[in-house]
């Protein structure tokens, strides 16, 4: 009996060991985002640092075409992309107009198990809301900084973020090895969250579908459905920037652009299942001078 007990305990510890080892296995997935563009060597420098840390890394991009200094759009692109990547993926996002200042350099671990290496300047607002905050650590640059870069003050994307992200993705450091633990809050950008009240849905225009000029909102399908509008019906749409109304009309709600003739307005659910509005084969944003950001509001009502 004692032998059987020892055997059972041994099997249990073996299973626990392998489960723990599996949970700590690095993904080697490293995903970059920045406002650098690709006209010069900045993106290549970051990737060179990462590969030098570990040639086994698999490196990808969200985008490097974030408008210069646009922290809000950086926040949205992470929100857009991150849920489609596996648990354990490390994102490095550098839109950092405060580079070299006292803003914190951090790594956020979300409740979904993703990691985000970024300045804590508002970039983490939307992934924190969407994926939840599990823990935040401040990057210890005495350990996690590219060797010989101490006198470089303006390229933390290469010297600190790419280096730290690569070490984390490759399993050279654990999350604890990033640096000291911080309170579970991030610097936040204020924006209108989707709400339904008294027959009205209100939301934000976080981003444009740039290539085609469609207007994307943060109004999710569940919130929109409270209006009781089905495909083929019309929805009253009002777009406001500050105190200025740029669009106020009713629009056909459909499943796809071909539900209306070419050149006509169409409201639909985009690929993220958020309410959007466009024109079949034309740019809604250009026609009505609509832009995006935390200070853009959209209001929806059921058409009487």
State whether residue 38 is helix, strand or coil: coil
Contact 214, 271 (CB under 8 A): no
Return d(Cα 28, Cα 173) in angstroms, integer.
12
Res. 23: pLDDT tops 70? no
% of the chain surpassing 90 pLDDT: 83
What backbone phi and psi angles, to 5 degrees, belong to 157? -55, -40
> E strands within the chain?
29-34, 58-63, 90-94, 105-110, 115-119, 133-138, 181-182, 195-197, 200-205, 207-209, 214-220, 234-241, 244-252, 265-269, 274-279, 293-302
Res. 19: pLDDT tops 80? no
| pLDDT, tens digit (0-9, with 9 covering 90-100), for 89-103 | 999 999 988 776 778
Res. 24: pLDDT tops 70? no
Show the domains of the chain with their CATH numbers.
2-182 (3.40.50.10790), 195-302 (2.40.30.90)
Res. 11: pLDDT tops 80? no
Query: pTM of this prediction?
Result: 0.83
Determine the average pLDDT of the residues in 143-155: 83
């Amino acid at each position: 009996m004692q032998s059987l007990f020892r055997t059972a305990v041994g099997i249990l510890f073996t299973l626990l060991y392998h489960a723990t080892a599996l949970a700590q296995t690095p993904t080697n997935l490293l995903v970059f985002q920045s406002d650098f563009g690709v006209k010069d060597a900045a993106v290549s420098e970051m990737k060179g640092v990462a590969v030098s840390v570990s040639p086994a890394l698999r490196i990808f991009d969200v985008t490097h075409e974030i408008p210069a200094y646009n922290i809000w759009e950086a926040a949205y692109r992470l929100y857009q992309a991150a849920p489609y990547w596996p648990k354990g993926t490390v994102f490095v996002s550098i839109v950092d107009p405060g580079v070299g200042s006292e803003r914190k350099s951090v790594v956020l671990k979300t409740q979904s198990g993703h990691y985000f290496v970024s300045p804590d300047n508002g970039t983490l607002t939307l992934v924190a809301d969407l994926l939840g905050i599990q823990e935040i650590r401040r990057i210890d640059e005495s350990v996690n900084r590219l060797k010989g870069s101490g006198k470089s003050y303006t390229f933390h994307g290469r010297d600190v973020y790419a280096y730290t992200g690569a070490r984390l993705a490759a399993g050279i450091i654990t999350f604890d090895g990033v640096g000291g633990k911080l309170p579970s809050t991030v610097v936040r950008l204020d924006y209108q969250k989707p709400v339904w009240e008294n027959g009205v849905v209100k939301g934000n225009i976080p981003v444009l579908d740039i290539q085609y000029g469609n207007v994307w909102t943060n109004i999710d399908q569940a919130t929109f459905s409270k209006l009781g509008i089905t495909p083929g019906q019309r929805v009253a749409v009002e777009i406001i920037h500050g105190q200025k109304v740029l669009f106020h009309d009713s629009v056909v709600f459909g499943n796809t652009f071909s539900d209306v003739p070419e050149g006509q307005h169409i409201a639909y659910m985009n690929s993220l299942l958020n309410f959007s509005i466009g024109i079949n084969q034309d740019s809604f944003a250009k026609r009505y001078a609509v832009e995006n950001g935390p200070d853009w509001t959209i209001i929806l009502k059921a058409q009487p």
